[in-house]
Structure 1
Amino acid sequence: MSETYVKTLTSPDEAAAEAAGLEWLAEAEDAGGTRIARVVARPRPTVLELEFISDTAPSAAQAERFGRSLAHTHAAGASHWGAPSPGFPANGPLRMGRSRTPFVPASEAPETWGEFFAEYRIRDFVHRIVDAGGYDGSEAAVFERVCDRLEDGTLGSPQPALVGDGPARLHGDLWAGNVLWPRDRSEPTGAVLIDANPHGGHAETDLALLALFWLPRLETVLAAYDAESRLAPGWQERVELHQLAPLLLHVLLFGGSYTDAALRAARRYA
């Protein structure tokens, strides 16, 4: 019997949402997308039993395969900006995890990525941080100027080539700890992904999160991604813009040095 590990979620809806999201990401595997850890069983309403991946440091070849496969996961697309996975509980809250990160119902779908990112990532987090005393009015105004520029298209950019004009299918929580490198280095997609918060968004957001928390062999991953699905010119200058969402999430949850880091990043684009 294969080794597994158990993850306990805060509610049955959240467990169902996580299982649905992993299944949605795994649909891209047939088209070359990165492999997703399998849900083996759901022994209790709030518990998922998942495939265990024996993790190690990646080889250059694994990093290259991961970069190329991630491009195909993103290219699988989503129905609209901020869309949750199709199996997301229909009657449950459209928020996920400790941060209560919001998704967007189809009836409220924004027309552009900038509108989505401004309203459902930056403003949503900043308003809650202000309410908790983390930012004052003048600091919140910096983020609001970024939102204005996102909504008017000034800070917009094309998706990578394989994605096309619509939303990419994002992992949504793609920091280094959720990228596992199997000890069996023959895995065709290089890495296996876990603990997703998938939704429809801009592919550069996933890539920016890989950079925020020091993914090993990141340069190799990004070069392989770019070779497989050409990134829009100037993507390097937008990394901190896309990092605003995870930084604000960390301000909300942990405060500390993330508070100043998010504000510094926002001032660059305000």
Structure 2
Amino acid sequence: MVKRWAEAPERFFEAEAAGLRWLADAGGARTAGVVAVSPGRIELERVAEVRPDRAAARVFGVALARTHAAGARAFGARPDGWDGPLYIGRRSLPTADESAWGVFYARDRVLPYLGIAEEAGNTTPAEARVVRAAADAIAAGVFDDDEPPARIHGDLWNGNVLWLADGVVLIDPAAHGGHRETDLAMLALFGCPFLADVLEAYDDASPLRRGWRERVPLHQLHPLAVHAAGHGRGYGVALADAAEAVLELARRMRE
């Protein structure tokens, strides 16, 4: 399977290859093997997909928990051994070296894309104020916990999950050090076959902190902001709705 993009930004496919290898090194969820990579081109092993089923979903859940548990140096950290840029889709993805998740997430995963969404007209000024208020609460540490930086895929929507008879193979990562709930929230945002089975198996293998379901909108702010930046007005509305939910959760946590 070969992907080409003659106008790709600097080290675009090389970043993808580094992310795939770093995720594979965790010994958890499988990733497509990198056959060759060069400027403007990447060749991956072909994956023979099958219809998803519950057994494969449960294998995926356990494997993803193992990938996350392999960890990262810091929140926002690049894959080990990679010193170049990161991308999500075709957009630049900021890197960081933070010990606190909230500061990193607000500054580097939400706000960089909000301004682009505003400029595109996909987010109104009133909606942007709500998102910025949510980002302020996040940066203030309201949602910080004792979870260490996880080794996350970073763009884990269903299109990047290829199903096999005995699990899945992951492609197109935006791999970095993040919060493990962010990967799970992205799976929920865009739909995933047998998601309940994936999550149940994950939770059995690596129990999630209490209240994780309530925090799903928090962890969906990043993918929604990225999509609001370039995929239409509907994502701007969804981003503001998620920000409202985050503000309400922050208010309840402060009471």
Q: Same fold (TM over 0.5)?
A: yes
Question: Distance between the aligned counterparts of 2:32 and 2:57, measured in 1?
Answer: 17
Deviations 1:73-122 (A, max 9, x none): 0001011111111233x3x4455542222222xxxx23311111100011
Q: What is the aligned counterpart of 1:226 among 203, 208, 214?
A: 203
Whichever residue aligns with residue 78 of structure 2, its letter is P
Query: Does structure 1 residue 141 correspond to structure 2 residue 129?
Result: yes
For structure 2, list consecutive stretches of 5 or more residues without a partner in the other structure: 248-255
Question: Does residue 48 of structure 1 match 2:45?
Answer: no
Structure-2 separation of matches of 1:253 and 1:68: 33
Within the candidate set 17, 30, 45, 1:35 is matched to 30
Q: In the TM superposition, what is the alpha-carbon distance from 1:243 to its structure 2 partner?
A: 0.7
Indicate whether 1:173 and 2:155 are aligned.
yes
Distance in 1 (CA, whole Å) between partners of 2:142 and 2:32 is 38
* Further displaced range: 258-267 or 93-102: 93-102
1:45-84 pair list within 5 angstroms: 45-84=39-78
1:127 equivalent in structure 2: 115
Cα root mean square deviation, aligned: 1.6
Q: TM-score, normalized by length of structure 2?
A: 0.90
Residue in structure 1 matching 2:171, options 187, 194, 219: 194
CA deviation profile, 1:130-181 (whole Å, cap 9, x unmatched): 233333433222111111211222223453xxxxxx2000001100111111
- Amino acid in structure 2 at the alignment position of 1:49: E
Asked whether the equivalents of residues 123 and 233 of structure 2 are also in contact (C-alpha less than 8 Å), the reply is: no
Structure 2 partner of 1:101: 93
- In structure 2, the CA distance between the partners of 1:95 and 1:49, relative to structure 1 (3 Å rule), is closer
C-alpha contact 2:111 2:135 (8 A) present in aligned 1: yes
Tell me the TM-score normalised to structure 1 length.
0.86
Match of 1:6 among 2, 14, 19: 2
- The amino acid that maps onto 1:34 is A
**1:183-221 deviations in whole A, cap 9, x for unaligned?**
xx2x4xx11111111000000000001111110000000
Give yes or no for contact 1:34–1:191 (8 Å, CA) kept in 2.
yes
Secondary structure class of the residue paired with 1:236: coil
Paired positions, count: 245
Equivalent-residue separation in structure 2 for 1:56 and 1:96 (angstroms): 26
Q: Distance in 2 between matches of 1:86 and 1:237?
A: 32
Q: Percent identity?
A: 46
**5+ long unaligned stretches in structure 1:** 160-165
> Residues 196 and 251 from structure 1, CA distance in 2 versus in 1: closer, same or farther, beyond 3 angstroms?
same
Which residue identity is paired with 2:72?
A: A
